[in-house]
Amino acid sequence: PSIRREGFATTPDVTWADVGSLHEVRAELFMSTTFHIAHPELYTAMGVPNPSGVLLYGPPGCGKTLVAKAAASESGANFISIKGPELLNKFVGESEKAVRTLFERARAAKPCVVFFDEMDALVPRRGSDNNQSSERLVNQLLAEMDGVDGRQGVYLIGATNRPDMIDPALLRPGRLDKLLYVPLPPPEGRVSILQALTRKTPLAPEVDIAAIGLDTRCSRFSGADLAALVKAAVDAALKEVVNAAFKDGVFDPAALLRLPSSAGQTTGQ
């Protein structure tokens, strides 16, 4: 897992249990990805065999990457993640080759979800300042999306914070034609995100996740902000555990082995 897997097929270890809030996004991704992967024959019978591509948009840190991974793992599909700027930063001509290789890998690993992060960097609205090589890259990408006989078994999910900055050609039918907004969580959404984030964390009985999530001090927190809050609480609890493992200035490692329960007892103090 420590190996860098950018651009290669993996099976993500994220499940929907790790995702809080975002029920509508989940339901939409179920229909466009999971159900399609399970029953492609139904779509063929309806005369529309190709899956729709999805563009997730919204403020940073609200779960776009997370839901794309959860949708892939729920479907038992492979997952390839690529960041727009990484494809762009190749040498002239190399980016187009990288796009081809990416789709070759996806076809070899199908059913496969290809996740394009920072889509706006990859396919910016075409204007006078675009150079020829980025134009060629965009054309290559669009051609791969359309595919020779469609794109059976390859599911595209893009993500951006700036949907207005994306070349509209990308959003045409058959490409990323389904736009899904991934919003900042409402107060009760924050509670469900905190629950997902702490589902494997031992908590002291007095830790009231609902009260923390609803607290106005957390207003406008993204999922990433809530993850940082949980991390800070865990760090503080572990610090207490480590301090407690020092007896008369001598460190007692055996005390650390009792960590989950002692972390639980110290969290809320």
Query: Could you list the residues that contact ligand ATP (CB under 6 A)?
Result: 19-22, 60-66, 117, 159, 161, 182, 193, 196-197, 223-224, 227
Nearer Cβ to ligand ATP (77/226): 226
Nearer Cβ to ligand ATP (111/185): 185
CB of 249 to ligand ATP, least distance (A): 37
| Residue whose C-beta lies closest to ligand ATP | 223
Nearer Cβ to ligand ATP (34/198): 198
The helix (H) or strand (E) run that includes residue 137 is helix 132-146
What whole-number distance in Å separates Cα of residue 182 and Cα of residue 261?
Answer: 36
What whole-number distance in Å separates Cα of residue 159 and Cα of residue 60?
Answer: 10
DSSP character string of 69-92: HHHHHHHT-EEEEEEHHHHHTSPT
Distances (CA, A) of 108 to 80, 104, 132: 12, 6, 30
174, amino acid identity: G
CB of 194 to ligand ATP, least distance (A): 9
Dihedral of CA 171/76/95/148: which sign? negative
The burial class, CB within 10 Å (0-12 / 13-18 / 19+), for 148 is: exposed
CB of 11 to ligand ATP, least distance (A): 17
What whole-number distance in Å separates Cα of residue 85 and Cα of residue 119?
Answer: 9
Nearer Cβ to ligand ATP (75/222): 222
What whole-number distance in Å separates Cα of residue 209 and Cα of residue 228?
Answer: 15
CB of 155 to ligand ATP, least distance (A): 17
CB of 190 to ligand ATP, least distance (A): 9
* Whether the Cβ atoms of residue 43 and residue 76 lie closer than 8 Å to each other: no
CB of 245 to ligand ATP, least distance (A): 28
Nearer Cβ to ligand ATP (38/230): 230
Nearer Cβ to ligand ATP (191/241): 191
